[in-house]
A and B are shown apart, each in its own frame.
Chain A
Amino acid sequence: MADNADHIDGDDNEDVRAQQNLIKIKLKSSEGGIYECGLTAAKMSDLVKNMVESLGTDAVVTTEPIILGNEAVTDAALKKIIEWVEFHWDDPPVDHDFEDEKDRRNEELSHWDKQFIDVDDQALLFDVIAAANYMDIKGLVEVGAKHICSKIRGKSCQEVREMLKITNDFTAEEEDAIHKENAWIYAKD
Chain B
Amino acid sequence: MAKQMKHLKTSLETTDDGNEDIKQQPQIYAKDSFDGFGDDLCGLIVSYLSFEDRFRLECVSKQFQRTVFGSVVNLTIDHLFFSHYKAVNSAKSQMLATIAIKCSNIESIDCYAMQDKHIPEVLAVFRDKCLQICGTLWREFGLEFVQQFAPLMTRINSMDKQQIPSLIHCHRLSELSVDSLSDIFDTTSGQLLAKNLKTFSFHCYKTSDEGLMSAFVDQNQSLECLHVYMYSGSHETRQQLCQQLSQLPHLRDLLLYLRVGNGDNSLAESLRTIGENCKQLKQLSLMLSSVNKKLDSKTLDALPSYPRLRRLTLSHHFGHKFMKPLKRCKGLTHLTLYSMKLSDTLLANCDKQWPRLQYLRINCMAGNGFTFSSKSLGHISRLSALQTLLLGYGVGIDLNDNALKDLLTGMSKLKRIEVNGVKVSIGLPSK
Contact = CB atoms under 8 A, between A and B. Distances in A.
Contacts of A2: 280, 308
A133 interface: yes
A16 interface: no
A130 B36 contact: yes
A10 to B, nearest CB: 9
B8 A71 contact: yes
Contact of A110 (B63, B86, B414): B414
Interface in B344-375: 356, 358
Contacts of A149: 45-46, 48-49, 53
B16 interface: no
Contacts of B63: 166
Contact of B32 (A114, A122, A182, A186): A122
Most buried by A among B53, B283, B409: B53
Given A146-B48, A149-B48, A153-B50, A187 B1 contact: no
A181 B36 contact: no
B269 to A, nearest CB: 26
B282 A129 contact: no
B422 interface: no
Given A92-B356, A184-B95, A167 B57 contact: no
B415 interface: yes
Contacts of A186: 56
Nearest to A185: B55
B48 A110 contact: no
Contacts of B41: 129-130, 133, 141
Contacts of B426: 111
Contacts of A72: 8
A103 to B, nearest CB: 10
Contacts of A123: 30-32
B35 A167 contact: yes
B61 A91 contact: no
A111 B414 contact: yes
Contacts of B253: 98
A152 to B, nearest CB: 7
Contact of A153 (B9, B44, B53, B282): B53
Interface in B167-218: none
Contacts of A118: 430-431
Contact of A111 (B8, B32, B95, B412): B412
B30 A165 contact: yes
3 closest pairs, A vs B, by CB? A123-B31, A164-B34, A111-B427
14 contacts: A2-B280, A70-B8, A71-B9, A98-B283, A108-B415, A110-B387, A114-B430, A130-B36, A141-B44, A164-B33, A165-B32, A166-B35, A170-B59, A187-B86
Given A164-B34, A184-B87, 7 more contacts: A71-B8, A97-B252, A110-B413, A129-B41, A153-B53, A166-B61, A185-B85
